[in-house]
Amino acid sequence: MSFAIPVSGASGRRGVGRPRHSAVSSTLSPRDQVLDAAGRLFVTRGFAATSTREIAEKVGIRQASLYYHFAGKDEILAALLERTLRPTLDQVDQTLALTAEDPRPTALYLLALVDIDTLATAPHNIGLLAGVPDIVSSPAAEAYVASRNDLLNAYRDLAHTVATESGTDDLDPEDLGELVLQLVEGVIRIRARGRAITTSTARSIASSCLRLCGVGAEDLLVARSVAQERLVDFATSREGSNEITD
């Protein structure tokens, strides 16, 4: 029993089905074109403020045609969020496994770095939707919210351990975790202001996370260099699809 995968990617794109009223330009599958347009609009105008008509217009199809690909606006959102968070969550597990034997600062540094990279390269800075009332209160975002919570817990545990070791444990673990994640998500704000995220920026932010947990200058350097080694393994195991390694 294998169900057909709906030809996502640069496949057919040569006129199956009735032609559009305006010519097809993109090489993406129609479904991906919708997600792309929706993502851009949700981020710039907001979810509730974006109508299905606007999305369709950007894609170059009629409003009703959206419903061939998605059951409704909510499902577009759900697909978009899923696609956005999936890579991070997968990488989190790998990252934690990879640094299981290392000192915790190294693990925290690497987790932050991977996360920052994902946010920095996500299409349309889609991470902006993370904490928005519009989105979070939508039932379609339930899975997304739950997953983001797992991520938050990972940060909380790591950050708390690191802070305790360094004697900078004046904050409640829950609050500290929130702040570290907040710092990581700073890339979203930086991107939103139109600034580029360089490798150096990513490393600096990840370092900031350790400083926040009270890690001193020497330990920080150690964490950075060990993390860099792990990252090479990581990138290799993933066939270099990650650009963080310089």
Among 44, 153, 225, 237, binds a copy of itself (CB under 8 A): 44
Q: Is 4 in the site for DNA (CB under 7 A)?
A: yes
Which amino acid, 9?
Answer: G
Place of tokens 């360089």: 198
Q: Report the half-sphere exposure of 113 (CA within 13 A, side-chain side).
A: 33
Give whichever of 174 and 233 is closer to a copy of itself, judged by the CB atom: 174
C-alpha distances (whole Å) from 153 to each of 7, 112, 205 are: 36, 13, 19
Q: How far apart, in whole angstroms, are the C-alpha atoms of residue 120 and residue 243?
A: 11
Closer residue to DNA in complex, CB, 46/87? 46
Report the alpha-carbon distance of residue 11 to residue 3 in Å, rounded: 18
Q: In terms of C-beta density within 10 A (0-12 exposed, 13-18 middle, 19 or more buried), how is residue 4 classed?
A: exposed
Q: Where are the alpha helices (DSSP H) in the chain?
A: 30-45, 52-59, 66-69, 73-98, 104-121, 133-136, 142-166, 173-184, 186-192, 199-212, 217-237
- Output 40 or 211, the one with its CB closest to DNA: 40
Instruction: State the binding string over 67-106 for a copy of itself (x if CB under 8 A, else -).
Output: ----------------------------------------
Contacts to DNA from residues 35-94, by CB under 7 A = 51-54, 56, 60-65, 67-69, 71-74
Residue 186 interacting with a copy of itself (CB under 8 A): yes
Q: Using CA atoms, how far apart are residues 66 and 229, in angstroms rounded to an integer?
A: 46
According to the binding rule CB under 8 A, does residue 54 interact with a copy of itself?
Answer: no
| Residues between 194 and 213 with contacts to a copy of itself, criterion CB under 8 A | 195, 200-201, 204-205, 207-208, 211-212
Residues in contact with a copy of itself by the rule CB under 8 A: 42-49, 128-129, 131-135, 137, 168, 170-172, 174-175, 178-179, 181-183, 185-186, 189-190, 192-193, 195, 200-201, 204-205, 207-208, 211-212, 214
* List of residues contacting DNA (CB under 7 A): 4, 6-7, 12, 14-22, 24, 30, 51-54, 56, 60-65, 67-69, 71-74
